Amino acid sequence: MSKQSVASDSCGLSHWPPEVDQIAPGWRPLLQDFLRSAEGQRVTAQLQADLAAGIAVFPPEPLRALRLTAPEDVRVVILGQDPYHGPGQACGLAFAVPPGVKTPPSLRNIFKELQREFGRAPHAAGLLDHWARQGVLLLNSSLTVRSGAAASHTRLGWQALTDALVNQLAEGERALVFMLWGAHAQAKARLIEQGAAAHDVLRARHPVARLPRGEHLLLAANHPSPLSALRPPVPFMGCGHFARANDFLRTHGDRPVDWLGDALPGASTPLAGHGQLVA
C-alpha cells in the first residue's frame, strides 16, 4: 500500500484520541472506558503510528454517528462493517458519503430498495444525515480504515467500543429496530438478545412504575453490496426493512422515520423522477 500524506489529504483523520465532549453526553462514559481499556489503547497506538507514518486514515471524524445521534434519541440502529476506504468517501456514518461524492454501489442499492418499498426515489443529498437526526444510528463495527485497504482496522479493537454501544441500547427501556446487514452485523444479534435479557432480569428484580419495554425488532438480510444484495439466504433487495421498521415504530406509538427525505430542504428534486428507477 502506498503511503499518503495526511497533511495533504483533508478528508483523512488528523489526530487521535478525540475530545470526549465532541460526542453526545450519553455516549461519553462508554468512550472514556474504551479509551482507557487495552483495546482502546491499542487503537490509539495504531492510529497514531499510521498518522506519524503519513498513512491516510478515514474517516476524518470516526465518532460522528455518536455526535449526531444521542443514545436517548436512538430508534433504529443500522449496523455496517467498516468505512469506505477511498479518499473523500467515508464521513463517519455507516454507508453515507459527503455531498458531491459519487454514490457507492452499496448506497445505491439502499436507494433502490427504498424506491422499491415506497414507490418513489429518495432525495439523495444529505439523506443519511437526515436519518441520523431522526434517531437512526448509522454505526460501523470498525470505525476507521487505512486509505485503499478495506478492512485494514477490522481487528484493531474497535469492536470493544461498538459492542458496548450496542449493548447499552439493547439494555435500554425503548423498543428499538436493529437492521443487521451482512455477517459482521449479524454477529451482534446475540449481543442484542443478551442485552435485552439482562434488562428484563433487572426489571423483574427492581419493578418500576412504567410501561414494560417491548421486544426489539431484529431485521437480518445480506449486505447491500452488489456482491451479496441479490443472493440467498435473505437478499437485501426486497427485504422490506424500511417499511417494516416504520410499522414497528407506529405500533409502539412512535413516529415513522422519513426514509425518503421528504422533509429535507430542496426535497422537490429526488434522485430519480416518479416512476423512474434509480440507475
Catalytic residues: 82
Select from 134, 68, 82, 124 the least CA-distant residue to 99: 124
Q: Are the CB atoms for 223 and 182 separated by under 8 Å?
A: yes
- Do 94 and 139 form a contact (C-beta atoms < 8 A)? yes
Residues paired with 219 in a beta bridge: 179
The residues facing 77 across adjacent strands are: 137, 178
Contact yes or no for 192/176 (Cβ under 8 A) = no
Determine which helix (DSSP H) or strand (DSSP E) holds 57, and give its type and residue range: strand 57-58
Residue in this structure with the C-alpha cell 484520541, named with its chain if needed: 17
For residue 254 the three cell numbers come to: 412512535
**How many C-beta atoms surround the C-beta of residue 230 within 10 A?**
12
E strands, 92-249, in order? 136-140, 145-146, 177-181, 217-221
